[in-house]
Amino acid sequence: MDAKFRQAALDYHQYPTPGKVRQSSSKPMRNAHDLALAYSPGVAVACEAIASDPDSARHFTGRSNLVAVISNGTAVLGLGNIGPLASKPVMEGKAALFRHFAGIDAFDLEIDASTPERFIEVVAALEPTFGGINLEDIRAPECFVIEDELRRRMAIPVFHDDQHGTAIVCAAAVTNALLLQAKELSQVRLVTSGAGAAALACVDLLVTMGLPAANVTLTDIDGVITRDRTGMGANMARYARAGPACRLDEVIAGADIFLGLSAPGVLRAELLPLLADRPLILALANPEPEIRPEVVRAVRPDAIVATGRSDYPNQVNNLLCFPFIFRGALDIGATEINAAMKIAAVRALAALAREGGPCPFSSDYIIPDPFDPRLIGAISPAVATAAMASGVATRPIADLDGYRDVLAAIAQP
């Protein structure tokens, strides 16, 4: 990033008001009568109604359209463990994206908790406030324990975006890229750079969809994940390879898919010729990818390339998923976001790119653009329908066409 862009980013965050989100009142407060309704004595009526029927909170408060974006700042983008305060611009940003793209109210909570246990206690206590919990930028392996325990304890959707949001968008991109490349998921070989929250979830979802686990090689900062690694969780051990420790350079030959969810510049240009014909390169580290698309194009014009960034085509970023999956989940009162809902989101997202849109389906358009107004109308009803079919909807929607009309009004032009 050059100095001019860096200054523009700081100015954007600072002016005209510091930060990217603010709360506003949704009701008039013009006079004493409004105040009597909003506050004392009228507010007591709403409190009593909720005390006698907790479900009525969705009528008398903003809870059912309110999501918390929560982090402890331990794996912020690719910036590492920069702590909860420094993570705040990202979390405010995610909150703003919820509002902008899906009409969901969200605020960010950066929690200074040095242990998973403390983090879990704080978040679990927030259930009365929120309709859903979006966990963000929490490092592996703590993120797995945290999400599992919160899902167990809370009756509202708890979704670690870096795992599942990323996996959904990645799986849609892989589906479409392989279609263009005339390759089958069951036949391809995939090598990762990164074996953290995002990479493991992406691989897991692809394996659920038909990628043989035996065709996956995980690598991280210490090289290939081999069976003699100590301290591995079950979700990493599942992909650990036999054999001596080696580096990415030694296992990348013949790989059809490079899945980068790690750090800048890890995929060096001299490794590109080693990849299989027509490779798919997902260089998804933020803000700086594992390799820049222009470097790939110069060496491998047969490759399809995606990054997590907004300034290149094929933005494979969880932004394409999290606002819309929560929209669908909140609207039917889902108690969780389950596997069926995630697969429905993958299919809806992939289909949208194949239908065209601002660009024809091609190697530079394997995934829709984040500003595509069709996203909400395609993903949220698919997610809501899957939730209803899988028995996690507490408020099923009968009129899905009417629901689509409501969503169309939220979509940005």
Ligand X SMILES: NC(=O)C1=CN([C@@H]2O[C@H](COP(=O)(O)OP(=O)(O)OC[C@H]3O[C@@H](n4cnc5c(N)ncnc54)[C@H](OP(=O)(O)O)[C@@H]3O)[C@@H](O)[C@H]2O)C=CC1
The set of catalytic residues is: 39, 94
In degrees, rounded to 5, the angle at the alpha carbon of residue 98 between the alpha carbons of residues 203 and 57 is 110
Q: Which of residues 148-167 bind Mg ion (CB under 5 A)?
A: 162
- Provide, rounded to whole angstroms, the least separation between the CB of residue 286 and ligand CC(=O)C(=O)O: 4
Q: Does 77 bind ligand CC(=O)C(=O)O (CB under 6 A)?
A: yes
Determine which residue in the list 208, 226, 235, 286 makes contact with ligand CC(=O)C(=O)O, applying CB under 6 A: 286
Cis peptide before 28 (omega within 30 of 0): no
Residue reference for tokens 């403390």: 118
Q: Does 137 bind Mg ion (CB under 5 A)?
A: yes
Q: Does 75 bind ligand X (CB under 6 A)?
A: yes
Taking residue 17's Cβ as centre, other Cβ atoms within 10 Å add up to 9
- Provide, rounded to whole angstroms, the least separation between the CB of residue 201 and Mg ion: 12
Q: Which stretch binds ligand X (CB under 6 A): 99-107, 183-191, 251-259, 313-321?
A: 313-321
Residue reference for tokens 């392996």: 141
- Provide, rounded to whole angstroms, the least separation between the CB of residue 151 and Mg ion: 18
Tell which residue, 81, 86, 136, 130, has the closest CA to residue 104.
Answer: 130
Cis peptide before 370 (omega within 30 of 0): no
Q: What is the DSSP letter of 29?
A: -
Q: Does 259 bind ligand X (CB under 6 A)?
A: no
Q: Which of residues 149-208 bind ligand CC(=O)C(=O)O (CB under 6 A)?
A: 161-162
Q: Are strands 280-283 and 257-260 parallel, antiparallel or unpaired?
A: parallel
In angstroms and rounded to an integer, the radius of gyration of the C-alpha atoms of the chain is 22
Show Cβ contacts of residue 3 under 8 Å, excluding neighbours closer than 6 positions. Answer: none
Q: Beta partners for 71?
A: 110
Q: How far apart are the first and last CA of the chain?
A: 30
Q: Which stretch binds ligand X (CB under 6 A): 34-42, 49-57, 316-324, 367-375?
A: 316-324
Count of residues touching ligand X (by CB under 6 A): 28
Residues near Mg ion (CB under 5 A) are: 137, 162
Residues near ligand X (CB under 6 A) are: 75, 77-78, 139-140, 162, 166, 193-199, 220-222, 261-263, 266, 284-286, 308, 316-318
Binding residues for a divalent metal cation: 136-137, 162
